[in-house]
Amino acid sequence: MAVFYSFVLCFILVIVIPTSAGLSPESFYTAECPRALSTIKSVVKKAIDREPRMGASLLRMHFHDCFVNGCDGSVLLDDTANFTGEKTAFPNLNSLRGFEVVDEIKDAVNRACPRNIVSCADILAVAARDSVAILGGTSFSYNVSLGRKDAKTASWEDANTNLPPPVFNLSQLLSNFQSHGLDLKDLVALSGGHSIGLARCITFRGRIYNDTDIDPTFASSLQKGCPLSGGDNNTAPLDATPKLLDNVYFKSLLESKGLFHSDQELFKNITGSESDNLVKHYSTNPSDFAEDFRASMIKMSNMKPLTGDEGEIRLNCRKVN
């Protein structure tokens, strides 16, 4: 479960990543396949050039993977006779996209490497990082710990339970994030990923017709493309600059123009609210948003990876070996 800021730095900001649960530094594949990461970036760049929305889709796919039993590539598995996977869970069905780009990346990496050594889970983590760096610029670049293995199963039930829907209130959102080891700052910073991409009418219809904390002109404009009945798959931009990862998302919340109910829950204009204060701060301090977004992406990417003898490295990301 987004393309980026207009300011330019003359150097790449790098965060030192503490390795997590057996993960290794970004140089993990360098000795055996020095072209692995550049190959992933090349395919991601071409996919975003074809369709800028794909950057948001790859970021969202990584989020939806990590929030269901950790960053293990389980979201990529097709259903089998032994399990019903995550693709048909309610938060993903007819919504999660970019699987063909992951297939393209996997094929390209396997051609660039002497054997099948790059996991699908690592591909998702790197593709998400490359997407935000391409759409947001160097201020959103960060190093990715590597060495994840791929899950051999997936869970439809867990995907339905663990992914926060766009109708959640702030308390529900925070509880969900805390269950994954993330805190309020992570929630608000990662929600800034909604700075990029599009959303389907069915996901925000309730907000534009029922919510009271929404700018009436904004709601009316959205209702033209999202009627009360029908048009479920019609899309609207998540903020005013859907091809740039920037802080316009937070400025929109201050104007009651959050597209999802869950977006606007981050800013309720309540004195002393920590969430409100973070939204206000990010709306006027884009560099701080970029810094916190990077840090939260690193935390999320390191959630419960399979390493060592756990899992496998799939030859085809859609099925177990």
Q: Please give the C-alpha separations between residue 246 and each of 30, 79, 129, 242, in angstroms, as whole numbers.
A: 32, 37, 15, 9
**Is residue 64 annotated as part of the catalytic site, yes or no?**
yes
Distance, CA of 78 to CA of 118 (rounded, Å): 19
Q: Alpha helices, DSSP H only, in 167-285? A: 170-179, 184-191, 201-210, 216-223, 248-254, 261-264, 274-284
Burial class (CB in 10 A: 0-12, 13-18, 19+), 214: buried
Q: How far is CA 204 from the centre of its chain?
A: 18
Which of 142, 122, 197, 141 has its CA nearest to residue 166?
197
Catalytic residue ranges: 64
